[in-house]
Every structure is written in C-alpha cells, then in structure tokens.
Amino acid sequence: MTENYHVFSDGRLERHNDTVRLVTEDDEKKYLPVENAEAVFLHGQIDFNTRLVSFLNDHGVAVHIFGWNDYYAGSVMPERGQTSGRTVTEQVRAYDDPEHRRQLARKFIRASIHNMRANVSYYDNRDHDFGSVITRLDTQQERLEPGLEINELMGVEATARRAYYSTFDDILPDGFVFGGREYNPPKNEVNSLISFGNSLVYANVVSAIRATALDPAISFLHEPGDRRYSLSLDIADIFKPLLADRVIFRLVNRQQVDMGDFEERLNGCLLTESGREAYLKEFEQMLDQTVEHPRLNRKVSYQHLLRVEVYKLKKHLLTGEEYAPFERWW
C-alpha cells in the first residue's frame, strides 16, 4: 500500500481478474496492481460500479474524486478496517475539554508556522531578503499563549500565513503575480496552484487518517463541520508548506509550468489538464522523497510522515504521551 494512482483518461474503472483495470474510451486497457495501491485519484470522467467499490473496500484502497476542473469533489473511503470505540471516545473527550482542545490547536499552529518559516528561511539564504517576514512569523509564534481561544488562535494562524504568502511574489518569477490568497474560485495562476496543491495534501491526509481508528470528522483547530473531514484540515495545514508549496516553487521556477498551463473560466483561473499533470508528477515525487527520521532511526518517505503524524496524535489521545507535531528538522 504505497502508491497513489491518478487517472486522467475518460473511461471505465473495473474489477478484473482480482485487480483493478482501466478501460479508456479508446478501448485501451491498463492495470493497476491493487496490492500496491494506497489510493486512486480520479481526474477524468470515469464510470465504476459497486463491484469495484466493494473490491477496493476489501483492499483498503480509497478513491478520491476530483470533479469538474479538478475541484475536489469527495472521497469513497473504505469501511474503516480499524474501529475502536475507545479511540473515538478519547478523541471526543479531547475536543470537548476546552483546555485540551486549545492545547492541540496551539500545537498544530506552532508546527504550521515553523514549517512556513523553514520555507522562508530557505529562500532568505538564497538572494532574497525575508528578514522582516521571519520576524513577523516569530512574533506570531510568540503570541501562542495558553489563554487564547480557538478563534484567536485562528487569527494568529491567518496573520502568520499572510506574512508567509507575502514572500511568494518575490520567490516566483516575473509574470506570476500572486497578490494574496483568493479562492472559490482562485483568481490567478498562483492561487489556482495553491488550491490544487492544498486539496491534494488534504486528500492524502484523509487516506492516512483512514489507516487508524481516528474519526476524520472530529477536529481540534478547525471546527468539526457537517461535511468535511475537518481533522484532515488540522493536519494538512502542517504539511502544506513542505508538500504543496515547495512543488509550486519548483515547477514555476524551473518553468515546468508556464502561463499556457492555465485558463480563465467562470471569473477564475484554473489549471489545464497538462498543468495538473505536471503538478501531480512533481507532487508524487515529493511524496516519495525520503528523509532520515531521528526517532524512528530509519529513512521514511514524506508520504509516510503523514501516517506517522496520525499515529502520534492517536497515541497522544489514548495514552496521554505528549504530542509533538511534525516540524521540519532538516
């Protein structure tokens, strides 16, 4: 269970000979080794039936559906193999205890700011002067006092992220104008890259949560809602700078994505299919990248870091062991 598969073609996805087969509209047949699949991302127009869904369910493979123009449209999650009433109970208890909830929310934000800062200081050392941004991030970090309410914590996070985003216009080459975060729909190229990247981080965290008994809808920083897997939003925030944003810098600075990879649609700016494919290839490479883990004492992939993160949180909730969220250490 290691690889994500991305289906861009239109066609039909089916169970065939105990594995998964894609039959494209041109009747081309391609096989996905189901035993090696973590999740299938559908970007094209795909038909599938209940037989396939049951089969993927048996193998614990999630399907993430990206609808029209690759807006994240939802996931078909396998029935959770891991079920534990105790885990969910502890999770709800932590949510319901204001002090505990704020403590977790603070940790998520501290780690997010740390990871944003890591990106900024990388470019600060390479012919950019981001000293003032780093100071602003540090100031927000210091504001994370135990007394702050959730909405105040959210405010700290938003201020830090604004400071962080202010570096994008400098880091990205001329022509790519960012000017601040806007979504629903994204108004320009950089915003559409961020939206697409963030939705991929989110979907990958959803897959990681699924491997544990944690309930993806009970969260701490974000308010649990009716629809979203809000725990995934909490955890995805920590990883966006490492995964989504660095892919943007690489692709744009190496000109693997240019203005031709976007189109204006419905008052917004969206990635074309070729742009999305270019982003995804780089993104999957990023997930496969490995780093020496000081506590596990072995090399782990970035994708595995997502798993580790969910396990740590679960352990904290069950045993009270302190939760130290992922902060880039290299």
Under the rule (CB under 8 A), what is the footprint of other proteins?
Answer: 1-9, 17-19, 22, 30-36, 277, 280-281, 284
Residue 194 φ then ψ, to 5°: -65, -45
Residue 324 CA: distances (Å) to CA of 104, 154, 220, 312: 10, 19, 15, 8
Would you say 16 or 80 has its CB closer to other proteins? Answer: 16
Q: How far apart are CA 185 and CA 207, in angstroms?
A: 25
Would you say 231 or 244 has its CB closer to other proteins? Answer: 244
Q: Least distance (Å) from other proteins to the CB of residue 198?
A: 20
Q: How far apart are CA 268 and CA 228, in angstroms?
A: 23
Preceding peptide of 185 cis, ω within 30°: yes
DSSP state of 220: S
Would you say 46 or 160 has its CB closer to other proteins? Answer: 46
Would you say 38 or 215 has its CB closer to other proteins? Answer: 38
Q: Least distance (Å) from other proteins to the CB of residue 33?
A: 5
Q: How far apart are CA 180 and CA 237, in angstroms?
A: 17
Q: Least distance (Å) from other proteins to the CB of residue 2?
A: 7
Q: Least distance (Å) from other proteins to the CB of residue 239?
A: 20
Torsion sign across C-alpha atoms 285, 286, 287, 292: positive
Q: Least distance (Å) from other proteins to the CB of residue 149?
A: 43
DSSP state of 20: E
Would you say 156 or 278 has its CB closer to other proteins? Answer: 278
